[in-house]
Each structure stands twice: as C-alpha cells, then as structure tokens.
Amino acid sequence: MEQIFLVDSVFHVEQMHHFAALRFGSVLVYIHQEALFINLQKLMGIVIAVANQKGGVGKTTTAINLAASFAAAEVRSLLVDCDPQANSTGGLGFARDPDRISTYHLLTAEATAGSGIVATELEGLSLIPSHKNLIGANIELVGAENREFRLRNALESIREQFDFIVLDCPPALDLLTLNALVAADSVLVPMQAEYFALEGVSELLDTIERLRQSLNPGLEIEGVVLTMYDDRTNLAQQVTQELKRHFGDKLLETIIPRNIRLAEAPSYGKPALLYDVRSRGAESYIRLAKEIMHRRMNSTVSAAATAASEETPTATPTDQAEDFSSGNELKRVNES
C-alpha cells in the first residue's frame, strides 16, 4: 500500500518500490525507504523542556499554548507540569488536588507516568499535573540513587504514545529543572527583550553545556523565543538584534507579542486558542508550533537524504512513466 505524510502541504512522501519520493513543490527527491522510516521515527516522542531560571518570562504560558497548538495541528501532545506552583495545571482547568497522581509521584517512583495522564478539554492534548508538594522532591531526592534520571525513566514508558512532550520547568536551576533537562531532547528558552533576561539566559546555557558533558549528551537548544514583545520600544529592538548576533538561527522567527487574551485565558482554565483563537497571542503560538515542526521535519529529511546519498535508485520503465501530477497522486492515495 502507498503511504503519504503531510506537513502543512509543504511536501509529501509516497512509497515507490524500495525508494520513497519526496515532493518539494515541483521537485522530487528519492530516498531509500529504510532511511526515511528511521528518521521519521525520530519525530515521535520528542521531549521539549521550556526552561529559563528567570521568572516572569512566559514559560508556563509558552508551555500551555505550545502544547495546545501541537494538539490543534492533530499532533499528539502531552504537557508535564514540573513546577510546584502548578500553574500549567490550573491553566488547563484542573484544581490542585493532593490526592491526584502528579509529577511528584513520578519523581518519587510512587506511580507510573501512564497512571498520571489526564485528558484535557482540547482533543489530542493530555496533562500530567503538578501540586505544591512537588517542592518536597528537591529535598527528598538529594540522597536518592539516579536522582537526575527520575523523570526521564518515568517518561520512557509513554514516549511512543505522543509526538511531542512539553515540560514546564520551574523558575530555578534546581533538581526539578535538572530532571527536566536530563529527560529532554531539547530546550526551548522563552525570554523577554530586556537586558536582565540576557544574563539569565547565559547562566542557563552554561548549565546546558555542563549537562551535555555529563548527564545528557544529546541535549539540544530547540530555540530562543521572544515573549511579551513590544516592538514600539527601542530597547526591544536593540535586544532582538543582540540576540540575533548571539544565537543566529537558534533565535526563532516567531515572536510572541504582549496580548491581553494570553493573560486572561488561564483564569478561564483554557489555552488561548480555545479562549480566543483569533487573538494575536493564539495565532502567534500556532505559528511557533508550526515553525518548530517545520524545522524538525526539514532536519529529518536532510538527515535521511544524507544517509541515502550513496544509494541512487535505478529508474525502471515503470518508474519513468509514473505520472506525479497532483491529481494522480491524490487518486493513488485515495485508492490505497
């Protein structure tokens, strides 16, 4: 059976014998199916930690609305609240319930991650809630064995159930944030366009580099995203230019503006796209989710093409005569 993968209509993949044809507009690229399958699998179960030890930069707002935007794009997403303040939990409409399984129980190995998952109002978005007793884990785990790997080990059993897992970290470089960074594949850093924010990011980057050298060699920087942005101020524009020089393409193109709807939505227990999908804030986070998915898919396709660069398919008469017009492609997909 032929298979097709869609990413915002940018390209699709169609199986042909032992090779796959990727269409970028009118350009076809042939890649060996095994290499393509392996790399597409890397898009499943991606864990992104939203972290910045500076408070008030929009970590929780970003975590909630990014996970919701993934779900709105029909991508299975899970939000894990790693903050004892439990703002992500409340922001999705759940009360702080000490009797409910939470991130605390995962870190102390009292429950499995699967048993802590709760469904949210938005289809495709699930949550592992938090509670203020999570702050006790900082003390209880000090002498515990493999204390830095508790969250990674807990999430391992459910990674295949989700395409993206978003971790909302507390505003501190403590043991809770350390667990999140060890469990993560990448770090998304929200920050305001202010000079004090630059100092906080430099400390976080130092921590990430130390983690790469010891506990999590594969940890990457997903990107830096500007939040609560006001382009009317000279300061915001100056800091943006400084960030572009420092981070290059790691500074994401999507910018989250100051928006009253983003501030109001948590009080109603909803992500912004359920509260007001036409608001500038909701639209910005949808663009952010799309940008992250596109970046990851582009890097995956590039890696697949590189892996298959030495294998060139021999065109058969059947392959040469194959019509790849849009109409015939859709017809073959529907017939399959």
Give the per-residue pLDDT at 43.
58
24-56 burial: b if 16+ Cβ within 10 Å, else e: eeeeeebbbbebbeebbeebebbbbbbbbbbee
> Does any domain span residue 323?
yes
Residue type, 127: L
Contact yes or no for 81/88 (Cβ under 8 A): yes
DSSP state of 147: G
Q: What pLDDT, on the 0 to 100 scale, is given for residue 37?
A: 41
Tell me whether residue 4 is in a domain: no
Q: In terms of domains, do 100 and 23 share one?
A: no
49/151 Cα distance (integer angstroms): 12
Same domain, 286 and 314: no
Domain range holding 26?
Answer: 11-39+303-335
Asked whether residue 187 falls in the same domain as residue 201, the answer is yes
How do the pLDDT tens digits run along the chain, 336 residues long?
333 344 443 333 333 334 444 433 344 444 444 433 434 445 568 999 999 988 889 999 999 999 999 999 999 999 999 999 999 999 999 998 988 999 999 999 999 999 999 999 999 999 999 999 999 998 899 888 889 999 999 999 999 999 999 999 999 889 999 999 999 999 999 999 887 777 777 788 888 999 999 999 999 999 999 999 988 888 888 888 888 888 889 999 999 999 999 999 999 999 999 999 999 999 999 999 999 999 988 876 666 666 666 555 544 444 444 444 444 544 444 454
24, 137: one domain: no
Verify that 137 and 276 share a domain, yes or no: yes
* Pairing between β-strand 46-50 and β-strand 27-32 as defined by DSSP bridges: unpaired
Rounded CA separation 63/128 (Å): 13
Q: What is the pLDDT of residue 53?
A: 85
Residue 97 located in a structural domain: yes
CB atoms within 10 A of CB 68: 30
The answer to whether residue 6 is domain-embedded is no
Residues 158 and 187 in one domain: yes
Structural domain includes residue 193: yes
For position 124, which CATH number holds?
3.40.50.300
Q: Phi, psi at residue 13, to the nearest 5°?
A: -115, 130
- The pLDDT value recorded for residue 7 is 40
Helix H, strand E, coil C: the string for 168-217 is ECCCCCCHHHHHHHHHCCEEEEEECCCHHHHHHHHHHHHHHHHHHHCCCC
Q: Are residues 26 and 143 in the same domain?
A: no
Number of domains making up the chain: 2
Predicted pLDDT of residue 31: 40
Residue 79 confidence (pLDDT): 98
What b/e sequence results for 200-209 when a residue is b if at least 16 CB atoms lie within 10 Å of its CB, and e otherwise? bbeebbebbe
The answer to whether residues 48 and 79 belong to one domain is: yes
Indicate if 49 and 35 belong to the same structural domain: no
Strands 77-81 and 118-119: unpaired
Determine, yes or no, domain membership for 1: no
pLDDT at 311: 57
- Are 117 and 191 in a shared domain? yes
Asked whether residue 210 is assigned to any structural domain, the reply reads yes
Examine residue 196 and state whether it is found in any structural domain, yes or no.
yes
pTM: 0.79
Q: Are residues 220 and 94 in the same domain?
A: yes
Q: Are residues 159 and 228 in the same domain?
A: yes
Confidence at residue 243, expressed as pLDDT on a 0 to 100 scale = 87
